[in-house]
């Protein structure tokens, strides 16, 4: 897609990594002026995704420094372009992982922008004007309105922020496999973290029987009593895993570390499906026998298109679903990243961007 190059004249305060050391420091940079299809958003909150950590440390070898992370953004619109439809000044809105796509391919026209070959992310991407995108660890964001969603009025903006990534990541495969209208179906959720806890909430809201599969026995009480899971299996306990063999219709695997899929696949019924939504940096062990003898499917999924993202937000408003968050100030970002690396958060850090800016900015 071609677009007139806008002027990058807005001075913005944010927080960035400048090398692979993993340290985040205050950063002053420029954003484009609000274009005819843009909205300018005063950022109130930004969730911290494990993906942020990968980009900050250049774990995947694709980081363009300086990088301003953040793709779980909520805020309020302060300016609206003349061609913008469906948004107005003062609207409560959210921006997730998507900043741009071609808008013209079969995937884009089918509301699957997240799979467009020309997809560009909210940060560390290349926007239509050739500039590098900067994310939500900043005061304001200028976004094309076609990649912005409304946040329901009843949802708190801090606890809603991670829905823009963690929420849509687990919602999208559930919708694709008709779990939104299949009460009584048996869902397995592997990993009880930022993504997993939202998957449990969705499962219960949609009337599913939810089993959490985790390496941590200590999470059983949390899963059952706080989140409402129906069952809990310790994945390292062969007896428990055998007891759950061929009981689940569908599994969402949120684990981002290297692990074997074999024992988990055995939990699926014949013709069952496991969807991988975590992003391990090393190949997973995938034995063939659980696939062959169960006619099972393993597939992947990444976030969701804009239509699904808005539907997800609306359903969260209807069912009052939010993420369990720990809200931090910007001067705690480095400590939060260190804790995030150790999975020491229940279940998502969210930066209070507007509440208190660093004295260095």
pLDDT in tens, 70-117: 999 999 999 999 999 999 999 999 999 999 999 999 999 999 999 999
Q: Where are the domains of the chain?
A: 10-165+323-352, 166-300
Instruction: Give the separation between CA 211 and CA 324, rounded to whole angstroms.
Output: 19
**Using one digit for the tens of pLDDT, what is the confidence trace for 26-43?**
999 999 999 999 999 999
Closest CA to 175 of 155, 203, 146: 203
Q: What's the rounded mean pLDDT across residues 159-184?
A: 96
According to the model, what pLDDT value does residue 2 have?
42
**Using one digit for the tens of pLDDT, what is the confidence trace for 193-204?**
999 999 999 999
- Residues 6 or more apart in contact with residue 344 via CB below 8 angstroms: none
Q: Is the pLDDT of residue 359 over 80?
A: no
According to the model, what pLDDT value does residue 6 have?
60
According to the model, what pLDDT value does residue 343 have?
87
Q: Is the pLDDT of residue 144 over 90?
A: yes
What is the percentage of the chain residues whose pLDDT exceeds 70? Answer: 97
Pick the CATH number of 10-165+323-352 from 3.90.190.20, 3.60.70.12, 3.90.180.10, 2.30.110.10: 3.90.180.10
Closest CA to 254 of 167, 196, 197, 199: 196
Instruction: Give the separation between CA 80 and CA 89, rounded to whole angstroms.
Output: 7
- CA 200, chain centre distance (Å): 15
Average pLDDT, the chain: 94
According to the model, what pLDDT value does residue 356 have?
58
Q: What's the rounded mean pLDDT across residues 230-254?
A: 97
Pick the CATH number of 166-300 from 3.40.640.10, 3.40.50.300, 3.40.50.2000, 3.40.50.720: 3.40.50.720
Q: Is the pLDDT of residue 5 over 70?
A: no
Instruction: Give the separation between CA 86 and CA 68, rounded to whole angstroms.
Output: 28
CA dihedral 239→243→248→252, nearest 10 degrees, is -20
Q: Is the pLDDT of residue 328 over 60?
A: yes
60, 119 Cβ separation under 8 angstroms = no
DSSP code string of 231-290: EEEETT-HHHHHHTTT-EEEEEE---S--BSHHHHTTEEEEEEEEE-S--SSPPB--SHH
Q: What's the rounded mean pLDDT across residues 61-74?
A: 97
Q: Is the pLDDT of residue 119 over 60?
A: yes
pLDDT band at 256 (very low <50, low <70, confident <90, very high): confident
- CA 62, chain centre distance (Å): 19
According to the model, what pLDDT value does residue 279 have?
83
According to the model, what pLDDT value does residue 270 have?
98
DSSP β-ladder status, 231-234 and 209-214: parallel
What is the percentage of the chain residues whose pLDDT exceeds 90? Answer: 90
23, 17 Cβ separation under 8 angstroms = yes
17, 29 Cβ separation under 8 angstroms = no
């Amino acid at each position: 897609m071609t677009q007139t190059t806008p002027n990058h004249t807005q001075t913005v305060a944010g927080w960035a990594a400048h090398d692979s050391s993993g340290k985040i420091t205050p950063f002053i940079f420029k954003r484009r002026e609000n274009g005819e299809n843009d909205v300018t958003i005063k950022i109130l909150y930004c969730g911290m995704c494990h993906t942020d950590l990968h980009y900050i440390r250049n774990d995947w070898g694709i980081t363009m420094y300086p990088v301003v992370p953040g793709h779980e953004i909520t805020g309020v619109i302060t300016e609206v372009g003349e061609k913008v439809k469906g948004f107005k000044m003062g609207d409560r809105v959210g921006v997730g992982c998507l900043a741009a796509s071609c808008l013209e391919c079969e995937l884009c026209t089918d509301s699957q922008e997240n799979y467009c070959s020309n997809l560009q992310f909210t940060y560390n991407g290349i926007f239509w004007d050739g500039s590098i995108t900067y994310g939500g660890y900043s005061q304001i964001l200028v976004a094309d309105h076609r990649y912005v969603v409304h946040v329901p009025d009843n949802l708190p903006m801090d606890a809603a922020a991670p829905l823009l990534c963690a929420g849509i990541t687990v919602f999208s495969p559930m919708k694709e496999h008709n779990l939104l209208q299949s009460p009584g179906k048996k869902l397995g959720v592997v990993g009880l973290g930022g993504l997993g806890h939202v998957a449990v909430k969705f499962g219960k809201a949609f009337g599913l029987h939810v089993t959490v599969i985790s390496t941590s026995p200590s999470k059983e009480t949390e899963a059952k009593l706080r989140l409402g899971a129906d069952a809990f299996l310790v994945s390292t306990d062969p007896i428990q895993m055998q007891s759950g063999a061929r009981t689940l219709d569908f599994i969402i695997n949120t684990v981002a570390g290297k692990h074997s899929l074999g024992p988990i696949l055995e939990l699926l019924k014949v013709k069952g499906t496991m969807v991988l939504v975590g992003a391990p940096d090393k190949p997973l062990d995938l034995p063939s026998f659980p696939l062959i003898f169960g006619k099972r499917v393993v597939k992947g999924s990444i976030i969701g298109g804009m239509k699904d993202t808005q539907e997800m937000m609306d359903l969260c408003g209807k069912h009052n679903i939010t993420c369990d968050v720990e809200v931090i100030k910007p001067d705690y970002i480095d400590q939060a990243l260190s804790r995030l690396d150790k999975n020491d958060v229940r279940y998502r850090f969210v930066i209070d961007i507007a509440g208190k800016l660093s004295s260095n900015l």
